[in-house]
Structure 1
Amino acid sequence: MAQTRKQKVLQEVQRQRRQRTIVTFTIVAVLIAIIVGVIIFLPHPPQNPVQLPPYLDHCVTSPNPFYHSHPHLVITISGIGQALPVTFETGYDPGCGRVMHTHDSSGIIHVETDQDVSYTLGDWFLIWGHWAGSTTTATFNSTQIFNNEAGPSTGHTLNMTVNGSVDTTPSDFKGGNPADFQNLWIPRDAQTGQDGCTPAPSTGCIPFNIVITYS
């Protein structure tokens, strides 16, 4: 009789253990299902339509940049001036100081980088488009700016000058073709007014004023 009672007690203990195991696994399975459901169905922030290449997809945090220059950009479309946005600490990437950014709408672009990299005017439009979350804003070449197309079939023209003249020097453009407006190199020693360049060369910083006109 004593042996029978021990067996019954042992069987009851084993039964309770099995029940606890089943309950535990059930709870874990439910929690996993809830977590997976939240991940799948919880709204996610939309992906920026303008994805930056690695050399631009970079936040500058160093207080001592590799170099710092200040080109000036003026854009006029059909007689209307286009203000540059204030991109620093605003827009799609708040708190991220890109290698090219603005602090105000004056047209001064701050090329402030901790990389030994030279940038083009087209790089600025990519960053601008990324900031705005707009592929239209990122569009600039010799036949189109934003959604404004130029060429014989459109009846519109698109011109670009540097310091008052059309730049036809191949070495001033990435790829060597002055017709590719977007490939204009931004000098590391560019300055605008009192906004100079660092480190300043022995010959001093140079004014660098870009004017884009669509008409």
Structure 2
Amino acid sequence: KKKWLYAGIGAIILISIVAFVSMKKSAQPQDVLDINLAEHKDLALHIHPHLSIRILGQEHPIPAGIGISPNGMRVIHTHKPDGNLHVESPYPHLFYLQDFFTIWGKRFTGQCIFEYCADGNHTLKVYANGEESSLYGLVPLYDLDDIRIVYEETGGNRS
């Protein structure tokens, strides 16, 4: 009898988990990056990491208005050309650096930033809060993070 009791409890737990996961999935759109927000309200996530890009010793500006169109604001967007990324979602979600570049429509890989690619004479590095990261586009975005992408000549400093 205990065997049947445990099997019944296990089945109830399994059914509950499956139901919860399917409800959670159906509550989110297919691709959270395609969401256009009309305004800054009813958000489950609202964070502001900072991004800077340095190419061959020069700061590369991140323009205002990335991810903003007449249809609304994408879940990652910029308001000013100051490197502050506005990450806003009606659903809890972990966003990554690559998500911003996807919305921006610019190239960023473990080897290249825009048209600049690492080779025997150049390196591409990513720093998250001062620490070098090998995650590149998979660097997670958290509130007030300082993310720097640095493309430089081999042997250059990380400034």
- Give the structure-2-normalised TM-score: 0.70
Q: Please give the alpha-carbon distance, in whole angstroms, between the structure 2 residues aligned to 1:55 and 1:166.
A: 28
Shift of 1:67: 1.3
Quick check: 1:112 aligned with 2:80? no
Whether the 8 Å contact between 1:143 and 1:158 is mirrored in structure 2 is: yes
The gaps in structure 2 that reach 5 residues or longer are: 1-29, 153-159
- 2:125 is paired with a residue whose SS is strand
Identical residues among aligned pairs (%): 32
Shift of 1:54: 2.1
- Mapping for residues 1-215 of structure 1, pairs under 5 Å: 54-61=31-38, 63-87=41-65, 90=68, 93-129=69-105, 137=106, 139-152=107-120, 155-167=121-133, 179-187=134-142, 190-191=143-144, 208-215=145-152
- 1:106 is paired with a residue whose SS is coil
**Match of 1:150, as an amino acid?**
A
CA RMSD of aligned residues (A): 1.8
Looking at CA atoms only, which structure, 1 or 2, has the larger radius of gyration?
A: 1
Q: How many pairs are equivalent?
A: 122
Seen in structure 2, the aligned counterparts of structure 1 residues 89 and 126 have a Cα distance that, compared at 3 Å, is closer
Shift of 1:88: 5.7
- Give the structure-1-normalised TM-score: 0.53
Whether the 8 Å contact between 2:112 and 2:118 is mirrored in structure 1 is: yes
Whether the 8 Å contact between 2:67 and 2:103 is mirrored in structure 1 is: no
Whether the 8 Å contact between 1:100 and 1:112 is mirrored in structure 2 is: yes
**Match of 2:130, as an amino acid?**
G
Seen in structure 2, the aligned counterparts of structure 1 residues 67 and 83 have a Cα distance that, compared at 3 Å, is same
Whether the 8 Å contact between 1:162 and 1:209 is mirrored in structure 2 is: yes
Seen in structure 2, the aligned counterparts of structure 1 residues 213 and 66 have a Cα distance that, compared at 3 Å, is same
Whether the 8 Å contact between 1:119 and 1:186 is mirrored in structure 2 is: yes
- 1:140 is paired with a residue whose SS is coil
Whether the 8 Å contact between 1:88 and 1:96 is mirrored in structure 2 is: no
Runs of 4+ that moved beyond 6 A: none
Q: Please give the alpha-carbon distance, in whole angstroms, between the structure 2 residues aligned to 1:85 and 1:75.
A: 12
Residue 24 of structure 2: aligned partner: none
Q: Please give the alpha-carbon distance, in whole angstroms, between the structure 2 residues aligned to 1:115 and 1:148.
A: 34
The gaps in structure 1 that reach 5 residues or longer are: 1-52, 130-136, 168-178, 192-207
Seen in structure 2, the aligned counterparts of structure 1 residues 89 and 213 have a Cα distance that, compared at 3 Å, is closer
